[in-house]
Amino acid sequence: MAEAYRLYAGTQAGMILFRGVADIWTSMGGSREFEPYFKDRVVDSVYGCKNSPEIVFAGVTFDGLYRTQDAGRHWQRTLEGDIRWVTVDPTDDRVIYAGTEPVHLYRSEDGGGTWEELKSLTEMPAEVQYKWYFPHPPHQGHVRHIYIDPEDSTCIYLALEHGGIVRSFDRGKTWEDVSEGLEYPDIHMIVRSPGSKTKYFTATSRGFFRADPPEKGWKRAEKGMESDYFHDVINLPGNRPAMFLAAGHGSPQYWDRPGGVDGRIYRSEDGGETWRQVGAGLPVKHTAMCWQLAYNPYNTDSIFAAFGDVARGHTAGPPGEGAIYVTYDRGDTWEEVGLQKRGTKYLRPPAIRVLWAAADD
């Protein structure tokens, strides 16, 4: 029997769900082409449960955190607020973390039913919180990414946009700032290096950095790259461990230039020491940014890449086009996911900001 997927694509104008069996994909949102859930609202994060793939969370900006328990057919709001990131504890599907704008962190230990704020985060020293600032009104920083160590869930890192990096070794009871060496505190994502307990990498708007360990300071790790704007980074385990990094060129306010973002995907197979652009089947210089890299739940050699012709923080005006690509050979070759056809041509969804791939029955 062919493997079946559900792709949860968060866009500038709602969430679009697709069901795929083999290479046939259908939109699940309604009768019209790409009918979205959360219509006309910005979906800025999406994350699902590892052992219960029918349970997925979606963060809708200025609105709240929503949960589906039936693979996207119905959604209920479980937490109010301007949700900017949601993460499921990799060791326990019942533990959910949600970060907001302004910077606050919440945890649920019953699968999203009830929540508590980890108030120690907002009790950090004033000189740390002074950096929690965003250039656009209302000028408040937010939690852009939450990293929970898959081997030690008491270890939590937060990437703040803008605001640097803070971490906790006691499940959020206490926090410390570990931003030394970062040239600009616009942080998008942080991950631990495969095979190391102490080396971390972080993607920022003005560089890609590594630290070993973070308290000793961050240094650039861009050997082999031509890009200078970085967003998503993930580890792909297996016999050939690899890291993948989504990148662009310049700041988002300049992406309306001819050629757009110059979006690229890089791969490292030596623990982040060197990088090489990958992607036979991808445009060499994509006009859109790859905002999200998502694991394939069936295949450890495969990831999905979601592109969107939209700049985060620029919510005015209609979104551009989006696209989803997939690789089955650890990034050597890629193909576009043909989501829906009109006549002989595939339609493009709105610009995609976040993506989650789940197994489907």
CA–CA dist 180, 292 (Å, integer)? 26
pLDDT band at residue 338 under the 50/70/90 scheme = confident
Nearest to 303 by CA among 263, 276, 277, 333: 333
The 10s digit of each residue's pLDDT in 143-175 is 999 999 999 999 999 999 999 999 999 999 999
Residue 264 has pLDDT above 90, yes or no: yes
pLDDT band at residue 1 under the 50/70/90 scheme = low
Torsion of Cα atoms, 272 then 278 then 165 then 238, to 10°: -60
pLDDT band at residue 311 under the 50/70/90 scheme = low
More confident residue, 68 or 310: 68
| Percent above pLDDT 70 for the chain | 93
Domains with residue ranges and CATH for the chain: 42-336 (2.130.10.10)
Residue 283 has pLDDT above 90, yes or no: no
CA–CA dist 84, 59 (Å, integer)? 6
Structure pTM? 0.94
Residue 255 has pLDDT above 90, yes or no: no
Q: Tell me the DSSP string of 15-55.
A: EEEEEEETTEEEE-S-SSTTPPBSTTS-EEEEEE-SS-TT-
- pLDDT score, position 30: 45
CA distances from 258 to 250, 274, 287, 318 (A): 13, 29, 9, 19
Minimum mean pLDDT range among 59-63, 89-93, 213-217, 251-255: 251-255
Average pLDDT over every residue of 316-330: 80
The 10s digit of each residue's pLDDT in 170-181 is 999 999 999 999
The 10s digit of each residue's pLDDT in 97-112 is 999 999 999 999 999 9
pLDDT band at residue 302 under the 50/70/90 scheme = very high
Average pLDDT over every residue of 2-20: 89
- pLDDT score, position 310: 74
Q: What is the mean pLDDT of the chain?
A: 90
More confident residue, 286 or 202: 202
- pLDDT score, position 291: 94
Residue 340 has pLDDT above 90, yes or no: no
CA–CA dist 69, 107 (Å, integer)? 18
Nearest to 164 by CA among 192, 139, 144: 144
Nearest to 12 by CA among 318, 291, 246: 318
